Amino acid sequence: MSHLFRRSAAALLILGAPGAVLAQTQSGNSFNPKISLILNGQYAHYSSKAPADVAGALLGGESDYAPEGFSIGETELAIESNIDDQFHGWTAISIGNDGHGNADVSVEEAYINTLALPDGLAVKLGRFFSDIGYQNHVHAHAWDFADAPLVYRTFFGGQLGDDGVQLRWLAPTDLFLEIGAEGLRGDAFPAGGDSRSGVEAWTAFAHVGGDIGFSGSWRLGAWHYDGKSDDRRSSGDEDVDTSFTGKSHINGLDFVYKWAPNGNPEVHNFVLQAEAMRRSENGSVIYDPDGAADASAYDGTQFGWYVQGVYQFIQRWRVGLRYDRMNASNSVANPVGGTSLATLADDGDHPQRVSAMLDFSNSEFSRIRLQYNRDESRPDNKADNQILVQYIFAMGSHPAHQF
Amino acid sequence: MKPYLIVAALGLGAVFSQTASAAALKVFTCEPEWGALLQELGGDHLDVYVATSALQDVHKIQPRPSLIAKYRQADLVVCTGSELEIGWLPPLAEKGNNPRVIPGAAGYFEASRYVHMLEVPEKLDRSEGDVHPFGNPHIQTSPENIGLVAKPLADKLAELDPADKADYAQRYASFDTRWQAAMAKWTAEAAPLKGVAVVSAHKGWVYMYHWLGMTEVATLEPKPGIPPSGADLENVLATLKRTPAKMVVYAAYQDPRPVGWMEEHSGLPGARLPFSPGGLKGTDDLFGFYDVTIQQLLNALNGKSS
């Protein structure tokens, strides 16, 4: 006791009165949830003003490019907390900008997950980013490029997030092995439309991973997505709807390898990330269902992949390169010229894009990025030179990112 | 593939997992010092996995798949706590699906709860850098703290593995005797370091300075976690002209270039310390860890850079 008292007294003399401050920080608001606010804005310049269509595909919502000029992008408010000894809760509210000066508030994620199920099981319930693919569950502010890979933009409108339930099991082995499945409402692209009365979309995924020596680690994933659409509406730049009724199936593979000398990423580190996915769809498409109503039967498959590498060459500075490519083989019975049916039928092009980025992170909480895209994803592969300057700042509780 | 097949596969996996159990208590430690302490306190009763090495910056660890797989199997998790692992332990808990070791469970042990925390900030503001609201978490830099953690950790082992309770008590008693003797030896050896002024690369050594009576006149990092720029190093150099110091103290995992610059421009020797067991040759166990730490400091005091 007296020994402890002497230590404390000495500490008080040296450092002022830290004990009093400790007591203060541990009481009062300590049961408030962790809150963080992420500012993620940009300046964009595009050399092409043509509509942002992709040859051989119908795009969903949130597939447009970020507006030209300055825009605040998505401001994300995240709140998380343990609810009790069994449940943890997480909510991410995104405040976007529709490009016309109007705020666009959306619930990106709002879920609870279990903390204490036995036998390596966990359940997630609510709205969440699916665990399919590698990049899908990562929030936009943590991506290594300012925009989503072309195949994510085309197949999922950027990212698959839907309402539902996820069951996940983690094997008790030294090799990382997890499998899981999700039953979803089916509101998120490529599913959507009317009669969302049950499980209208579902997924299954498996991940394996491990280390290579002290410096490397990897994860490999395989997944499947299945969704139904019933008069799903999407609109292009002309604000004319296209309706789809039918089924979409997607199979995917994803791989990531991370390297840091002796596992210390402080000065140098490297991340290699690659994903490939194949979508097959069949059903019927109607262009301008409330007007001219040009209808067509549609049966098609699209394949897309990307590979990207990001290297931190000096403390706080990283460079990255990304290559995106897609192709399609579609059968559209009635490809009416000048409509989205013609864009969908246009499967002779190979949409592709090359991106390069440089970013600087003053601390874990701030990042500024310069990115250049040579985008040839529009019909006829017309090149669009895109320049993006992005900033990402995180306020509040410490960010924790998944692998 | 149908959804119910997947659910059936999940259920089957869960049944298989129950058959996997081992005799030894599986311990997941966040830092090498707790792995080394558990070797002393538990020996063969434990199967210890150390998640990080002394050559890594423990603030910045990726929640890698291999760590999730180890976390899943642990009976006990031993970490420093006080938010040192805040960037990666919560993701492990979320993905690791292991109710035995989540914070608050019997299998979660936070070492910093048992020591008196220093440098608890009076103001929590990120403009001060990556500050730790509960105080400086680098408690392993003083052997006094290891001594304070050993008893509650031995008690925790006895609680989770009551069959070997007597052995844990006997191992703790043996360790404590040797530890008190070793601390007396280190304190005597380190007598010339009392009152010595130093520059640190990172604010990582407050417990060691407090233990040995050394004083820190400057840090190379302008704020914790923010690497020094050329201007920051010039500022430290100017500070040293007004307030001279004897050496630059840095950890084995840190970028040696700012330290090299400072050694060259100030003429001060650098003291490269292991920071955690395994950081330098001969520091794999706790006794060697402090032996080498004291020796490196004494070498620098005698003008010998490491």
* Most A-contacting residue of B55, B115, B120, B250 (CB-CB within 10 A), to test interface: B120
**8 Å CB contact between A344 and A351:** no
Instruction: Please give the pLDDT value at position A380.
Output: 86
Residue A233 and residue A224: Cα distance in Å, rounded? 23
| pLDDT, tens digit, 9 for 90 and up, residues A110-143 | 999 999 999 999 999 999 999 999 999 999 999 9
User: And the tokens for B306?
Assistant: 């490491």
Range list of β-strands (E), chain B: 25-29, 46-50, 76-79, 108-110, 197-200, 215-219, 247-251, 270-273
* Shortest Cα–Cα distance, B29 to chain A (Å): 15
Residue A175 and residue A217: Cα distance in Å, rounded? 12
Average pLDDT, integer, range B193-220: 96
- Looking at the partner chain, which of A219, A316, A398 has a beta carbon nearest the beta carbon of B65? A219
Residue A388 and residue A370: Cα distance in Å, rounded? 6
Phi, psi of A136 (to 5 degrees): -60, -40
Instruction: Please give the pLDDT value at position B139.
Output: 97
Residue B26 and residue B98: Cα distance in Å, rounded? 13
In this predicted structure, the answer to whether residue B4 has a pLDDT above a threshold of 60 is no
Band (pLDDT 50/70/90 cuts) for residue B281 is: very high
In this predicted structure, the answer to whether residue B19 has a pLDDT above a threshold of 80 is no
Instruction: Please give the pLDDT value at position A236.
Output: 64
| CA angle, residues B57, B59, B64, in degrees to nearest 5 | 85
Which residues of chain B make contact with A398, given a CB cutoff of 8 A?
83, 86-87
Q: What is the biggest distance separating any 2 CA atoms in chain B, rounded to whole angstroms?
A: 75
The domains of chain B are located at 22-184, 190-301
* Shortest Cα–Cα distance, A320 to chain B (Å): 19
In this predicted structure, the answer to whether residue A374 has a pLDDT above a threshold of 90 is yes
Instruction: Please give the pLDDT value at position A402.
Output: 80
In this predicted structure, the answer to whether residue B199 has a pLDDT above a threshold of 80 is yes
- A-chain residue closest to B57, CA distance: A264
User: And the tokens for B74?
Assistant: 């642990």
Instruction: Please give the pLDDT value at position A15.
Output: 38
Question: Does the beta carbon of B65 lie under 8 angstroms from any beta carbon of chain A?
Answer: yes
- Looking at the partner chain, which of A7, A120, A316 has a beta carbon nearest the beta carbon of B14? A120
Q: Which residue has the tokens 């910045």?
A: B60
Instruction: Please give the pLDDT value at position A11.
Output: 39
Residue B139 and residue B114: Cα distance in Å, rounded? 10
**Partners of A303 in beta bridges:** A278, A327
Question: Does the beta carbon of B1 lie under 8 angstroms from any beta carbon of chain A?
Answer: yes
| pLDDT, tens digit, 9 for 90 and up, residues A228-273 | 999 999 876 567 899 999 999 999 999 999 999 988 888 899 999 9
Instruction: Please give the pLDDT value at position A16.
Output: 36
Instruction: Please give the pLDDT value at position B104.
Output: 85
Are the beta carbons of A207 and B225 separated by less than 8 Å? no
Question: Does the beta carbon of B112 lie under 8 angstroms from any beta carbon of chain A?
Answer: no
What is the DSSP secondary structure assignment for residue B269, as one 8-state letter? P
Question: Does the beta carbon of B88 lie under 8 angstroms from any beta carbon of chain A?
Answer: yes
- Looking at the partner chain, which of A85, A214, A266 has a beta carbon nearest the beta carbon of B53? A214
Q: Which residue has the tokens 């997924």?
A: A203
CA B10 to chain centre: 37
Range A71-94 burial, b when 16+ CB lie within 10 A, else e? eebbbbbbbbebeeeeebebbbbb
Output the average pLDDT for chain B: 90
Helix axes B89-96, B65-73, angle to 10 degrees: 60
* Shortest Cα–Cα distance, A10 to chain B (Å): 9
* Shortest Cα–Cα distance, A79 to chain B (Å): 15
| pLDDT, tens digit, 9 for 90 and up, residues A40-58 | 999 999 999 988 889 999 9
User: And the tokens for A289?
Assistant: 């269902």
- A-chain residue closest to B132, CA distance: A398
Are the beta carbons of A174 and B10 separated by less than 8 Å? no
Instruction: Please give the pLDDT value at position B196.
Output: 97
**Partners of A320 in beta bridges:** A310, A357
Question: Does the beta carbon of A8 lie under 8 angstroms from any beta carbon of chain B?
Answer: yes
Question: Does the beta carbon of A219 lie under 8 angstroms from any beta carbon of chain B?
Answer: yes
Which residues of chain A make contact with B63, given a CB cutoff of 8 A?
400-403
In this predicted structure, the answer to whether residue B97 has a pLDDT above a threshold of 80 is yes
What value of ipTM does the predicted structure carry? 0.86
Q: Which residue has the tokens 């609510």?
A: A126
Question: Does the beta carbon of B227 lie under 8 angstroms from any beta carbon of chain A?
Answer: yes
In this predicted structure, the answer to whether residue A1 has a pLDDT above a threshold of 70 is no
| pLDDT, tens digit, 9 for 90 and up, residues A56-105 | 999 987 788 888 999 888 899 999 988 988 899 999 999 987 667 778 89
Instruction: Please give the pLDDT value at position A113.
Output: 95
Radius of gyration of chain A (CA): 24
Instruction: Please give the pLDDT value at position A237.
Output: 58
The top-scoring range by mean pLDDT among A124-133, A190-199, A235-244, B217-226 is A124-133
Residue A78 and residue A95: Cα distance in Å, rounded? 11
**8 Å CB contact between A301 and A329:** yes
Instruction: Please give the pLDDT value at position A23.
Output: 36
Residue B189 and residue B298: Cα distance in Å, rounded? 9
Domains of chain A with CATH codes: 34-396 (2.40.160.10)
Instruction: Please give the pLDDT value at position A322.
Output: 98
Asked: is B22-184 a CATH 3.40.50.1980 domain? The reply is yes
Q: Which residues contact A234 (CB under 8 A, 6 or more apart)?
A: A58, A59, A60, A61, A189, A241, A242, A244
Average pLDDT, integer, range B66-94: 94
* Shortest Cα–Cα distance, B120 to chain A (Å): 5
Are the beta carbons of A263 and B61 separated by less than 8 Å? yes
Minimum mean pLDDT range among A159-163, B93-97, B123-127: B123-127
Given this chain, do its domains B22-184 and B190-301 carry the same CATH topology? yes
- Looking at the partner chain, which of A10, A176, A180 has a beta carbon nearest the beta carbon of B65? A176
Percent of chain A with pLDDT over 90: 72
Residue A46 and residue A69: Cα distance in Å, rounded? 9
In this predicted structure, the answer to whether residue A339 has a pLDDT above a threshold of 80 is yes
How many CA atoms, within 13 angstroms, populate the side-chain half-sphere of residue A142? Answer: 13
**8 Å CB contact between B102 and A115:** yes
CA B184 to chain centre: 22
Question: Does the beta carbon of A24 lie under 8 angstroms from any beta carbon of chain B?
Answer: no
Question: Does the beta carbon of A123 lie under 8 angstroms from any beta carbon of chain B?
Answer: no
Which residues of chain B make contact with A204, given a CB cutoff of 8 A?
1, 3, 6
Question: Which superfamily is assigned to B190-301 in CATH?
Answer: Nitrogenase molybdenum iron protein domain (3.40.50.1980)
Question: Does the beta carbon of B197 lie under 8 angstroms from any beta carbon of chain A?
Answer: no
Which residues of chain B make contact with A225, given a CB cutoff of 8 A?
none
In this predicted structure, the answer to whether residue B17 has a pLDDT above a threshold of 60 is no
Which residues of chain B make contact with A23, given a CB cutoff of 8 A?
none
Residue A203: Cβ within 10 Å count: 27
Question: Does the beta carbon of B12 lie under 8 angstroms from any beta carbon of chain A?
Answer: no
Burial of A148 (0-12, 13-18, 19+ CB in 10 A): buried
Best CA proximity match to A49, nearest among A378, A389, A388: A378
In this predicted structure, the answer to whether residue A329 has a pLDDT above a threshold of 90 is yes
Question: Does the beta carbon of B142 lie under 8 angstroms from any beta carbon of chain A?
Answer: no
Are the beta carbons of A364 and B88 separated by less than 8 Å? no
DSSP A73-106: B-EEEEEEEE-SSSEEEEEEEEEEE-SSS-EEEE
What is the DSSP secondary structure assignment for residue B240, as one 8-state letter? H
Best CA proximity match to A358, nearest among A325, A394, A322: A322
* Most A-contacting residue of B7, B15, B17 (CB-CB within 10 A), to test interface: B17
